[in-house]
Amino acid sequence: MDQLVINGPSKLSGSVKVSSAKNACLPILAGVLLNPKPTHLKNLPDLRDIRTMCKLLEMLGVKITKNDNITTFDASDLTSTEATYELVKTMRASIFVLGPLMARKSNAKVSLPGGCAIGARPIDLHLTNLEKMGATITLEEGYVKAEGRMTGTHLVLAFPSVGATENLLMAAVLADGKTTIENCALEPEITDLANFLNKMGARIEGIGTKTLVIEGVMESELCELEYEAIGDRIEASTYVMAALATQSTLTVEGFNPEHIEFITEKLIEMGANIKVGPDYMTMEPSTLKGVKIDTAPYPGFPTDAQAQIMALTCLIDGNSLISENIFENRFMHVPELKRLGARITVKGNSTFVEGGFQFTGAPVMATDLRASAALIIAALAAKGTTTIRRVYHLDRGYADLDNKLRSIGVDVKRENPELENNK
Ligand code: EPZ
């Protein structure tokens, strides 16, 4: 397994451009299944999860061709409606194919995604609301089997679930009649998916609000389109915090800073010196003080940036209180940060961080995507060598990470000890 070796402390400089958002591209890729005409997606990020989703689409009969930075998907003839366990177990986001398959084929067999490191992550909101739209759902041998014609209806989400909003939105695009979904999640990736679907010929209103109204259309009304997803706001916020953690002057570009407004507000409240442009943010060395963070659905502080800001708060003068309110087990980075010298106490869903300690390098283990991002930030600030093992977690959400870090001044190399030992 690959590992990253980082020699710190690092001083970052220059600018780094983030890739298209993983969490926008994954539902958009599933949305390709709705369209009998070609879909051209521009600048898909080179991430493991994106490759996995493309493999799933090909298993369903989608033909994929690549030409420079444009990937073309031909979903004119879907030959299967089954997403197998072998594939789904490697990527939970495979569940996003459920909605579009039900819309297009009135039939789907998708392996139940297992839990993951950060929590049980049930899909009850997806399933109960698909049933309200006319699906008959049975759970057999670890698979969700769904069949039935999608019919527009009035849905109210018990919780503003990102994935449930996206799955139901896609199921409604080709449903008979009108679907209203209340208490939708508001994440920018949902707005991006809705814009993509409307460009394809869907009829979605209320985009960016908690109530989406979708007038079902015939699949023959959908059209060929080209689309590029939004920049990755979580990748961007990771580099923003890396700049502050290393007291560097760094510009992060290629995303919409409005998408991380709440994070920026908190960082400025802590004393960060940040210049916000239309599609970039520039950080200057700043003296930061402790902070209280409560993760919440958008536009609140994103759970996907919780581990990263925890790494930052370890390094600053003053104490911080960070509460995780979305997932039940999203503190896997705490024991690893402690190996680098952090002083963190976990109590229930909250952590008390004693700031002002210097990290020293050590071997650490990546456990999940955003926990690994926190370890990167810590490694950049640590004195000495940090080896981050199981870096495949990072490769799921951070495209071209090694080169991006190197381009802003980091002494980093990727190793594969097993391969090296066999030489
Ligand atoms: C999406 O996951 C993101 N993944 C996650 O990013 C992100 O952390 C999460 O939204 C919250 O913002 C993708 O977009 C691919 P949810 P999702 O449904 O859709 C509970 C990353 O690091 N819930 O909003 O699974 C659930 O258990 C990943 O890029 C139910 O109880 O998130 C959780 O506690 C990690 N029943 C909460 O809601 C359901 O049917 C939020 O989940 C669905 C969800």
| Cα gap 41→43, rounded to integer Å | 7
CB-neighbour burial class of residue 141 (10 A; exposed 0-12, middle 13-18, buried 19+): exposed
CA nearest to 264, candidates 323, 305, 231: 305
pTM equals 0.97
CA nearest to 112, candidates 92, 135, 134: 92
Residue 122 makes CB contacts below 8 A (sequence gap 6+) with: none
Q: What is the pLDDT along the chain (423 residues), one digit of tens a residue?
A: 899 999 999 999 999 999 999 999 999 999 999 999 999 999 999 999 999 999 999 999 999 999 999 999 999 999 999 999 888 888 889 999 999 999 999 999 999 886 677 887 889 999 999 999 999 999 998 899 999 999 999 999 999 999 999 999 999 999 999 999 999 999 999 999 999 999 999 999 999 999 999 999 999 999 999 999 999 999 999 999 999 999 999 999 999 999 999 999 999 999 999 999 999 999 999 999 999 999 999 999 999 999 999 999 999 999 999 999 999 989 999 999 999 999 999 999 999 999 988 999 999 999 999 999 999 999 999 999 999 999 999 999 999 999 999 999 999 999 998 877 766
**Run of H or E including 64:** strand 63-67
Q: Is 116 a catalytic residue?
A: yes
| Cα gap 43→57, rounded to integer Å | 18
| Cα gap 5→305, rounded to integer Å | 23
Our measurement of the distance from residue 240's CA atom to the centroid of its chain's CA atoms, rounded to an integer in Å, reads 17
The strands making up 39-42's β-sheet, listed across from edge to edge, are 63-67, 70-74, 39-42, 225-227
Quickly count helices (H) and strands (E) in the chain. Answer: 15, 24
Residue 159 makes CB contacts below 8 A (sequence gap 6+) with: 125, 183
Query: Taking the CB of residue 114, how many other CB atoms lie within 10 A of it?
Result: 12
- Within 6 Å (CB) of ligand 1, which residues are found? 23, 26, 93, 119, 121-126, 159, 161-164, 185, 187, 303-304, 326-327, 369-370, 397
The alpha carbon of 92 and the centre of ligand 1 are apart by a number of angstroms equal to 10
| Cα gap 258→415, rounded to integer Å | 37
Name the residue of 121, 234, 398 whose CB sits within 8 Å of the most ligand 1 atoms, as the mutation to test its pocket. 121
